[in-house]
Each structure stands twice: as C-alpha cells, then as structure tokens.
Amino acid sequence: MMNDFKNEMKDILNQGVIKRNPAFVLTIALTPMLAVTDSMDKAISLGLTVLFVMILVNFVVSIFKSKISDTVMPIFTLAIVAFFVSVAQMIVQVRNLELYQNLGIYLPLTAVSALVLQRALAYSKENNVIKSVVDGFAYGAGYLFALIIITIVRVIISTGSITLFGIPMRLFDTIYSFDLATSAFGALLIVGLLLGIFKSFQQRGESK
C-alpha cells in the first residue's frame, strides 16, 4: 500500500518536472519567461511565486470541489488565484521593492496565467488534497527549474560569467560574449534551443 502511494507521488512529480514541464513541454507563460530570465533574482522570485500560488490554489480547489458546482468553479478558482497572487505581490514588495518594480506586470501575469488556472481546474477538481498539493508543487517546481536553467544559460552567454550562491564564476572573457542574448529575441532563441534539447532527452528516455 505504501509502495503504491510512493510510486503515485513519484509519478506526479515526474509529470510536472519532466514529462509535462510547463515551460519546456507545454510552453505555458512563455512571455514572462523571456522577460525575467535576464536576472537570477527575478527568475527565482517569479518561479517561487508561481510555486507558492499553484500549491495553495490546488489545495483550496481540492477542498471545495465537492461544495461548488462546475458552473461556479472557474469563477471561484479565478478569485482564489487573484487572492494568493495579491498576497505574493505584497510579500515581494515588502521584502524587496526594487525587485518588485523590476518584475512589474510579469509577476501577476504569470501567476494568473493558464499555468495555474488550467491545472487547478483540470487536476485538483478531480483529485484529493494530497495529490493536488503534490501536483501543484511538481508543476511549480518544474516552472522554477526551467526559469533557472534558462537564466543560467542566458547570463553566461551574454556576460561570460555567472554568480551562484554568492560565488562569481567567470567562464570566458566578455569579448566572446553574445550580446544579443540580453534581448527578447536572443532569449527566444535560447529558449527554443533548450526546448529542443529537453525534448530530445525526453524522447530518448521514453524510447529506453
């Protein structure tokens, strides 16, 4: 019984992070992804916000699914998302005003996107609280993981260096950097390249 539960939880996590990663597979919330991946602080903050909102929205929807009709559920879910997004915005604003201003409209735009709404209505409405919370965590973590990977690649290509855990690391001289990576077009090229690599690895894993 316990092994079945563990395997089920492992499968949910695998779906959210690998098989149906919201960024690399479903390509949801692509516009904010291009806008915030020029800075690790922005990428992590946006990713954590999405993670926070998805877990709580899935939790609430799974609790009230039997008490609210299918007609009202989308409106209820939208209201819950808006509430938690507002809370997340206030937290970011209080903790780091400059970061809040840098994120701008992309903070609420991503959190209220189909990434949160569609998953809450499609999964949490049909599953219990534990599965819904794990699913929200998996998809939120998958999106955060994608943002971090894109940011690392983009920053390294555009500057030749990266700072991780407060440790600056220079990989090559700035003379060899690719300035176009700082633009939205350059970011789109990098995301497209990473999408192709991710899909390639995914297909290899499925074929084995």
What's the pLDDT tens digit per position in 5-39?
A: 778 888 888 877 777 777 766 666 677 777 788 88
Mean pLDDT over 110-124 rounds to: 72
Range in 121-130, 150-159, 170-179, 180-189 with the lowest mean pLDDT: 170-179
Question: Span 87-106, mean pLDDT?
Answer: 85
Once rounded to an integer, what is the mean pLDDT over residues 175-188?
76
The 3 state secondary structure assigned to the chain is CHHHHHHHHHHHHHHHHHHCCCCCCCCCCHHHHHHHCCCHHHHHHHHHHHHHHHHHHHHHHHHHCCCCCCCCHHHHHHHHHHHHHHHHHHHHHHHCHHHHHHHCCHHHHHHCCHHHHHHHHHHHCCCCHHHHHHHHHHHHHHHHHHHHHHHHHHHHHHHCEEEECCEEEECCCHHHCCHHHHCHHHHHHHHHHHHHHHHHHHHHHHHC
Domain ranges of the chain: 2-147
165 confidence band (pLDDT: 50, 70, 90): low
Q: Tell me, what's the pLDDT at 120?
A: 78
